[in-house]
Amino acid sequence: MPPPDGYHHNSNEDDVNSPNSPLNFLDQNYQELHQNCLTENTLYNDELFPPDNSSIGLFDDLPPQVDMSQVVWKRPAELVSDPNLIVDGVSRFDYAQGSVLGNCWFLAAIGALTFEKDIIKQVMPAEQSFTKDYAGIFHFRFWRFGKWVDVVIDDHLPTIDDELLFVCSKTSNEFWPALLEKAYAKVCGSYADLHAGFISEALMDFTGGTHMYYTLNTAPADLWKIMECAFKSKTLIGCGSNSATTPEENELLHGIVAEHAYTVTGVFEVMSEENAVQLVRLLNPWGEEEWRGDWSDGSPAWDTVCEEVRKICHEVLNNGEFWMSMEDFTNIFENIDICCLCPDFLDDSAECHWTSKRHFGRWNAMITAGGDINETETFWINPQFRVKIDELNEECASGQRPENILVSLIQNHEKRNRNSQENFNIGFYVFEIPFEASGNKPKYEKSKRQVFVRVLH
């Protein structure tokens, strides 16, 4: 929700656009600009995100070996003889995080994105290349605070000594990671505005989906099962590691980077000496630096499973991806983010289908910001929404989680430069409304429930 500078509320305002009919970001129309370049036989130059320091932005701290005065913006054709947007498909192993920009949260989300080909096509429209109708112009699509936007960029990329300054591809002539990162930097204001963040931001911007967040030390006992079901649907999953304040604490992480974003790339259950072990597979967006504990690439634990499982799961490669037990995962990692197009998988049944509604609201500091539940005189003035849960069919009602409601809250950034936007402390309460107080029949029917969702600032 936007910050409190006036109140506006639409009770049921769903998106009017889609990935196939996005809004033009900064009023730049890709088709028109592309055609103009082809007609005039010129390469596109983006005046709204130019190849200069304004697009890089200001960094508080830089590695000592990086001299920004040495940055030269070059097109891919100036770096390699045969540039390609994609080489042999899109993979989580195509790229590695650069040493300048701390955007592991964004790159970890990209790792999750590579598993969902349909979503990739939404974010990175087809029929773009460095050969057919090439004009130095590309476009990408993101979901931003309720609206899909189409973002146009030119293909100038910042380099030092002919090496890309930020994300780099492991295949030298593949440029989709660098161009995707540039488009997202444009949306957020600059490359520097990508420094530090939460993986949930990028997961939602790639999908426009529903976000679920679990703190691992208080996660439900069946979280691994939830993750297993999620991987069978169009779901993107990432996580963040715990902090470490001393060298001793850091050593206990056994190769896990403290306060770092990772992609969750798989779950698998193995039989280890007749004991079932639930495993989680993770990817470090650095493209290296892996877990060194049990079930890591070099762990003797793999000798306790059958050869067939080892062929499926076990690889000894320094590519940043590794397995660990669910127990170690919940101890060493702090949280997990699950972003899905639809949370049907929560019921683990093909018969259960969720419906969704989106509400837009605004706080006014004096009128609608009523504080938390302890503010008894003003709490009632917070924005509130009523949700009716209709009768469930027999299949859903008998499931593990009948009558689910999932509430996700997002703050709308009104400033383009992401790091200049203050994040407010916001939250919500969910209350069940007694049926006799809901204005319906006085008789209480268990199959139908209504709840209030009260949002507070």
pLDDT tier, 439 (very low <50, low <70, confident <90, very high otherwise): low
pLDDT at 232: 85
How far apart (Å, rounded) are the C-alpha atoms in residues 48 and 339?
A: 31
User: Is residue 260 among the annotated active site residues?
Assistant: yes
Query: Of 356, 355, 443, nearest to 396 (Cα)?
Result: 355
247: buried, middle or exposed (CB in 10 Å: 19+, 13-18, 0-12)?
exposed
Quote helix, strand, coil % in the chain, to nearest 5.
25, 25, 50
Three-point CA angle 180, 291, 177, nearest 5°: 10
pLDDT at 18: 84
Query: Of 266, 268, 256, nearest to 310 (Cα)?
Result: 268
Which top CATH class is 349-457? mainly beta
pLDDT in tens, 109-153: 999 999 999 999 999 999 899 999 999 999 999 999 889 999 999
Query: Do 183 and 139 meet the contact criterion of CB atoms below 8 Å apart?
Result: yes
User: Is residue 284 among the annotated active site residues?
Assistant: yes
Fold of 210-338: Cathepsin B; Chain A (3.90.70)
Strand spans (E) along 145-220: 147-154, 157-160, 163-164, 168-169, 210-215
pLDDT in tens, 165-208: 999 999 999 999 999 999 999 999 999 999 989 999 999 999 99
Q: Which of 103, 242, 284, 335 is catalytic?
A: 284
pLDDT at 174: 97
Element (H, E) at 431: strand 427-433
Higher pLDDT: 42 or 384? It is 42
142: buried, middle or exposed (CB in 10 Å: 19+, 13-18, 0-12)?
buried
Q: Rg of the chain over CA atoms, in angstroms?
A: 24
The conformational region for residue 251 under phi > 0 = left, psi -120 to 50 = alpha, else beta, is alpha
Higher pLDDT: 404 or 93? It is 93
Indicate the domain borders of the chain. Answer: 23-196, 210-338, 349-457
Is residue 101's pLDDT more than 70?
A: yes
User: In the predicted model, what is the mean pLDDT of the chain?
Assistant: 86
Percent of the chain surpassing pLDDT 70:
88
pLDDT tier, 445 (very low <50, low <70, confident <90, very high otherwise): very low
Query: Of 202, 174, 181, nearest to 89 (Cα)?
Result: 174
pLDDT at 402: 53
Percent of the chain surpassing pLDDT 90:
57
Q: Which of 37, 103, 104, 457 is catalytic?
A: 104
pLDDT in tens, 290-339: 999 999 999 999 999 999 999 999 988 989 999 999 999 999 999 999 99
pLDDT tier, 95 (very low <50, low <70, confident <90, very high otherwise): very high
Query: Do 194 and 205 meet the contact criterion of CB atoms below 8 Å apart?
Result: no
User: Is residue 374 among the annotated active site residues?
Assistant: no
- Enter the pTM of the model: 0.87
